[in-house]
């Protein structure tokens, strides 16, 4: 309500005509000025303004209509009308798969060289792909899989690619069930096509037995047998429920579905490290030994990992099988990021919407962020949105800087929000100290406040040693900065300071129901001086 009121309040005075006062308009409209009412419509008859474009009332020219239109602007008109910035914003979203991937030719060729065996009916080696987030692994893998599938159609070789995002599908049951159901669906489609064909053939053969002469069938009865067989198969194809079956039943259903006919199957397991972290390596173990038992088909696994060290947790057999081929995606540097952004920006933005510095600055920021192309694209999109929101005709350097702050703050808020309670209490202690003007905070000071806060909210009190560890974790997350300083003969100590905006962080902490109970924290800080 407030939001709407505010908008109306600020928009209406902008209407230049000013001939009708806001208050009287709705009531007196028809009586006061028929022409305007008829030609532009009003808030009241918004639903019936189909004739708006006609504007053919004799005394109102088109210009008048356009001008007067300002007067009846609604909540979205301003935002919708001036669109000088974006041509196609979708292109900047993470869900968009680009057709061109500059600076990934080498990795894409490596993948293609390995996977081409699939098109020759051979089993490609398993592949492991490594690289930090935003280095183009998913985009490249999807690109290659599209090419592989389209080539397999072109040459009519049975080769299929199944993509699974293990961050979402993160247990053995779900991975196998999802794969099983995909193959079952494809098998059903295949059977349906064959059934159509054979039923057709049967009816043709009934009137003209000669049509069978150049088929594999000797008689109508043989066709009928085949149809019965397929119908029985069709009957048996039961999809796997999302929960409830024993895992070995899911596995054997998947196995049968894959082996239903001859083909090479490439299974892409994206974010494979998340699967292993969550549910161990059983899935990979089972998948990697399937080939020795399959009769008709062959599978090849392509694992994609953000974590370079994830194979350390694997069973050695799985590790050697999965890592037959390894491809590394190095981080992009600023120049490469510029190219990537430029390609996308050409499609995403209107001509001339970007000032010169925008792309280089986005690239430079993202290069600092371990060469993350996703971050670069987020920055560019957010900068565009901020420019749009401030009604600017162009995206400028300041918008990129604001976007950087916004994205960074969003990240901090998310990280802080999901911290375990104990870490939140430690962080809150540091904030209280800073707010009271304490500089060069040391671990002992944090611990004292921490202890009192724990007592206040009835939380377990950890040892100072553990609290020191939690501070190190906060340091690694970039939330605090802890440096070890030497105090000469008094030994060494940590000096801690906050590296995130204090107000916003405190607000996030207090939105936690347990910490929100702390009403007045001042006494805790005072107590510090008593120790
Ligand atoms: P990863 O899977 O390695 O985390 P993605 O493949 O999801 O990274 O890439 C992140 C974003 O950056 C996606 O929007 C992707 O389209 C884009 N991107 C990454 N590399 C390139 C590239 N070489 N050219 C164009 N866009 C790219
Ligand atoms: Mg990815």
pLDDT in tens, 85-104: 999 999 999 888 888 899 99
Adjacent-strand bridge partners of 165? 270
DSSP string, 139-166: HHHHHHHHHHHHHHHHTT--EEEEEEET
> Whole-model pTM?
0.74
By most ligand atoms within 8 Å of CB, the mutation choice from 136, 140, 167, 333 for ligand 1 is 136
pLDDT digits (tens, 9 = 90+) for 259-314: 999 999 999 999 999 999 999 999 999 999 999 999 999 999 999 999 888 888 89
Q: What distance in angstroms lies between residue 133's CA and the mean position of ligand 2's atoms?
A: 6
* Both structure tokens of 483: 């440096």
Q: Please give the number of the atom of ligand 1 that sits closest to the Cα of 98.
A: 16
Rounded to an integer, what distance in angstroms lies between the CA atom of residue 158 and that of residue 369? 42
Ligand 1 contact via 137 beta carbon (within 6 Å): yes
Residue to mutate, 92, 98, 304, ligand 1, most ligand atoms under 8 Å from C-beta = 98
DSSP codes of every residue in 230-274? HHHHHHH--PPPSS-S-HHHHHHHHHHHHTTS-EEEEEEEETHHH
CA of 378 to the centre of ligand 2 (A): 15
| Residue of the CA atom closest to atom 5 of ligand 1 | 136
Lowest-confidence segment of 182-186, 324-328, 437-441 by average pLDDT = 437-441
Is 337 a pocket residue for ligand 1 (Cβ < 6 Å)? no
Q: Is 18 a residue whose pLDDT tops 90? A: no
How far is Cα 342 from Cα 334, in angstroms, rounded to an integer? 12
- Asked whether 108 lines ligand 1 (CB < 6 A), one says no
User: Would you say residue 36 has pLDDT above 60?
Assistant: no
* Helix axes 397-417 and 373-389, enclosed angle (nearest 10): 120
Residue 4 has pLDDT above 80, yes or no: no
Q: Are 267 and 302 in contact (CB under 8 A)?
A: yes
Is the pLDDT reported for residue 499 higher than 80? yes
Residues with CB under 5 A from ligand 2 (ion): 138
User: What is the Å distance from ligand 1's center to 95 Cα?
Assistant: 10
23 in the Ramachandran plot: left (φ > 0), alpha (ψ -120 to 50) or beta? alpha
List, for residues 346-366, the tens digit of each pLDDT value. 999 999 999 999 999 999 999
pLDDT digits (tens, 9 = 90+) for 221-233: 999 999 999 999 9
492, 484 Cβ separation under 8 angstroms: yes
Confirm or reject: Cβ of 135 under 6 Å from ligand 1.
Answer: yes
Residue 101 CA: nearest ligand 1 atom is 24
Instruction: Give the chain's mean pLDDT.
Output: 84
Does position 27 have pLDDT exceeding 90, yes or no?
A: no
Percent of the chain with pLDDT over 90: 69
- For position 229, what pLDDT does the model report? 95
For the packed helices 172-207 and 220-236, what is the interaxial angle rounded to 10 degrees? 160
C-alpha of residue 79 to centroid of ligand 1, in Å: 30
């Amino acid at each position: 309500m407030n939001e709407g009121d505010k908008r109306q309040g600020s928009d209406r005075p902008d209407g230049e005509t000013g001939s009708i006062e806001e208050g009287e308009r709705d009531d007196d409209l028809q009586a006061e000025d028929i022409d305007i009412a008829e030609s532009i419509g009003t808030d009241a008859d918004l639903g019936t303004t189909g004739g708006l474009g006609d504007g053919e009332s004799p005394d109102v020219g088109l210009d008048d209509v356009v001008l007067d239109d300002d007067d009846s602007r609604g909540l979205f008109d301003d935002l919708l009308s001036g669109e000088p910035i974006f041509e196609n914003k979708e292109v900047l979203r993470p869900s968009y798969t680009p057709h061109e991937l500059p600076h990934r030719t080498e990795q894409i060729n490596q993948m293609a060289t390995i996977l081409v065996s699939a098109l020759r009916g051979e089993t490609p080696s398993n592949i492991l792909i490594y690289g930090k987030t935003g280095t183009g692994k998913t985009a490249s893998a999807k690109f290659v899989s599209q090419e592989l599938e389209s080539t397999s159609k072109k040459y009519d070789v049975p080769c299929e690619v199944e993509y699974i995002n293990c961050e979402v599908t993160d247990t053995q049951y779900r991975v196998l069930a999802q794969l099983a159901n995909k193959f079952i669906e494809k098998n059903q489609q295949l059977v349906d096509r064959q059934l159509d064909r054979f039923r057709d053939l049967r009816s043709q053969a009934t009137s003209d037995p000669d049509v069978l002469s150049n088929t594999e069938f000797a008689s109508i009865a043989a066709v009928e047998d085949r149809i019965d067989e397929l119908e029985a198969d069709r009957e048996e194809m039961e999809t796997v429920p999302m929960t409830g079956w024993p895992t070995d039943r899911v596995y054997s259903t998947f196995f049968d579905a894959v082996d239903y006919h001859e083909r090479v199957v490439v299974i892409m397991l994206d974010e494979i490290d998340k699967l292993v972290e969550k549910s161990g390596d059983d899935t990979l173990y089972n998948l990697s030994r399937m080939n020795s038992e399959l009769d008709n088909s062959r599978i090849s696994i392509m694992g994609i990992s953000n974590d370079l060290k994830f194979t350390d947790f694997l069973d050695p057999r799985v590790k050697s099988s999965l890592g037959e081929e390894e491809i590394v995606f190095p981080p992009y540097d600023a120049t490469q990021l510029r190219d990537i952004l430029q390609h996308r920006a050409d499609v995403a933005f209107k001509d001339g919407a970007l000032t010169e510095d925008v792309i280089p600055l986005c690239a430079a920021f993202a290069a600092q962020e371990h060469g993350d192309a996703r971050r670069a694209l987020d920055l560019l999109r957010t900068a565009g949105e901020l420019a749009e929101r401030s009604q600017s005709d162009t995206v400028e350097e300041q918008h990129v800087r604001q976007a950087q702050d916004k994205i960074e703050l969003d990240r901090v808020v998310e990280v802080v929000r999901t911290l375990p309670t104990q870490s939140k209490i430690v962080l809150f202690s540091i904030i209280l100290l800073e707010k009271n003007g304490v500089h060069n905070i040391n671990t002992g000071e944090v611990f004292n406040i921490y202890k009192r806060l724990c007592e206040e909210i009835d939380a377990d009190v950890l040892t100072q040693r553990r609290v020191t560890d939690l501070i190190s974790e906060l340091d690694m997350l970039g939330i605090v900065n802890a440096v070890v300083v030497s105090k000469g003969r008094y030994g060494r100590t940590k000096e801690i300071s906050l590296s995130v905006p204090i107000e916003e962080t405190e607000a996030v902490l207090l939105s936690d129901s347990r910490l929100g109970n702390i009403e007045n924290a001042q006494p805790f800080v005072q107590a510090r001086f008593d120790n």
